[in-house]
A and B are shown apart, each in its own frame.
Chain A
Amino acid sequence: MKRQQPIELFMPPNMLKAKVGGGLGGIDLAAMKRAESAMETLKSEFGDWIAEDVAALIAARARYAKTPDAGARDALLRAAHDIKGQAPTFNYPLIARVAASLSRMIGEIPPGGAIPLSLVDAHVTAIQVIHKNRMQDTNDKTAQALCAELDARVDELVVVAAKT
């Protein structure tokens, strides 16, 4: 195919490699070992961190319930998205799953579309219950059923939103 526009392709000098060296390339196993050890030390703080993230989600939900404008919606999405990304690190995979469902619902309903507060509340309450009861086992049948139900409700909503 004939190119319609000028395209410039070039390779800048690799200043990063010149700076850090590393003769054979590849991963630095000693550095990784140090980092894994530092992460183990950090784990003692994870309990507080997930509690703070859940509190931030509750606050974002309260803001959205009071004034469901674009700013409140974005704040709710950010809070859910943060938890989705971090909860697995904090050893709360079920919380991550529920937060992912909440993020998906908010993210896939177009701006201006109605996000049912009842379904937001169902997600936030589920996250609170999982956190309060320290449910860290993904095999918990009750939690699995709850997650599946939330997923199904969001599926329905997203399908309807896509058609409108």
Chain B
Amino acid sequence: MSNYRFDRLKILVVDDNVHMRKLVVTILQAFGVIQIFEADSGDRAWHILREANPDVIMLDWVMEGMSGLDLVQMIRTDPQTPNPFVPVIMLTGHTSLDHVARARDAGVNEFIAKPVSVKTVMSRLVAVIEHPRPYVRTQGYFGPCRRRRGAEEYRGPERRSEAPQQQAAE
């Protein structure tokens, strides 16, 4: 039992598919979330983000125009961003390791692999509440640390220190 006050959260749901948005919003409302903002594009999401400053963003990857990855990179690095630390949970049908790595490199905190279920939505929400990641800033990257544990002790090669931030291609 956790007794989270989900009613205090502001969540932005971004997906260009109306059915997926309705599905996610229904789940969040049942959790008790009251302040839910919806956007059907990355551009609209950026606008809402700057006005509402949500606590969590649930974001689709594949969208027309600005992709989910593009939006995450803006959230993390754009000077106009209202909160570069806002947790981003990415909803995606892409589950290959390559895609997961690209999303992590863009600054995604957690993933929900479609099909969406109540259990995974709860689990990822709890993850961003209870187990936030430290943040990393290098010359080429800003965002959540990919290593869940032991980051402070890591002494291996620094991939991000030299690689430019990867541009989203999808």
A14 contacts B132, CB within 8 Å?
A: yes
Which residues from 81 to 101 on chain A have a C-beta closer than 8 Å to any C-beta of chain B?
81-82, 84-89, 96, 100
Q: Which residues of A contact B16 (CB under 8 A)?
A: 78
Closest CB of chain B to A161's CB: distance in Å?
A: 16
Closest CB of chain A to B137's CB: distance in Å?
A: 4
| Interface core residue of A16, A78, A103 (most chain B CB under 10 Å) | A16
A29 contacts B1, CB within 8 Å?
A: yes
Question: What would 6 A/B residue contacts be, using CB atoms closer than 8 Å?
Answer: A22-B5, A27-B119, A30-B1, A32-B118, A35-B118, A75-B64
Q: Is B52 an interface residue (CB 8 A)?
A: no
Of the residues B5, B17, B20, B155, contact of A20 by C-beta under 8 Å: B5
> Chain B residue with minimal CB distance to A75?
B64
Q: Is B101 an interface residue (CB 8 A)?
A: no
Q: Which residues of A contact B152 (CB under 8 A)?
A: 9
Q: Is B9 an interface residue (CB 8 A)?
A: yes
Closest CB of chain B to A108's CB: distance in Å?
A: 11
Q: Which residues of B contact A12 (CB under 8 A)?
A: 85, 132, 135
Q: Is B31 an interface residue (CB 8 A)?
A: yes
0 or 1 for each of B26-37: is its CB under 8 Å from A? (1 = yes): 110111100000
Q: Is A141 an interface residue (CB 8 A)?
A: no
Q: Determine the distance from Cα of A14 to Cα of B54 in the docked complex, in whole angstroms.
A: 15
Q: Is B156 an interface residue (CB 8 A)?
A: yes
Evaluate whether A11 and B2 lie within 8 angstroms (CB atoms) in the complex, with A78-B16, A84-B114 already known. no
Additional A-B contact list (9), CB under 8 Å, known A1-B155, A8-B136, A88-B114: A5-B162, A7-B160, A14-B132, A19-B8, A30-B1, A35-B27, A52-B19, A81-B62, A81-B93
Residue numbers of A with Cβ under 8 A of B are 1, 3-12, 14-17, 19-32, 34-39, 42, 49, 52-53, 74-75, 77-78, 81-82, 84-89, 96, 100, 103
Q: Determine the distance from Cα of A145 to Cα of B87 in the docked complex, in whole angstroms.
A: 43
Q: Determine the distance from Cα of A34 to Cα of B27 in the docked complex, in whole angstroms.
A: 8
Which residues from 140 to 170 on chain B have a C-beta closer than 8 Å to any C-beta of chain A?
145, 151-152, 155-158, 160-162
0 or 1 for each of B123-142: is its CB under 8 Å from A? (1 = yes): 10010111010111111000
> Chain A residue with minimal CB distance to B126?
A27
A20 contacts B6, CB within 8 Å?
A: yes
A20 contacts B9, CB within 8 Å?
A: yes
| Interface core residue of B22, B29, B63, B129 (most chain A CB under 10 Å) | B129
Q: Determine the distance from Cα of A36 to Cα of B117 in the docked complex, in whole angstroms.
A: 9
A103 contacts B116, CB within 8 Å?
A: no
B135 contacts A19, CB within 8 Å?
A: no
Closest CB of chain A to B58's CB: distance in Å?
A: 14
A22 contacts B27, CB within 8 Å?
A: no
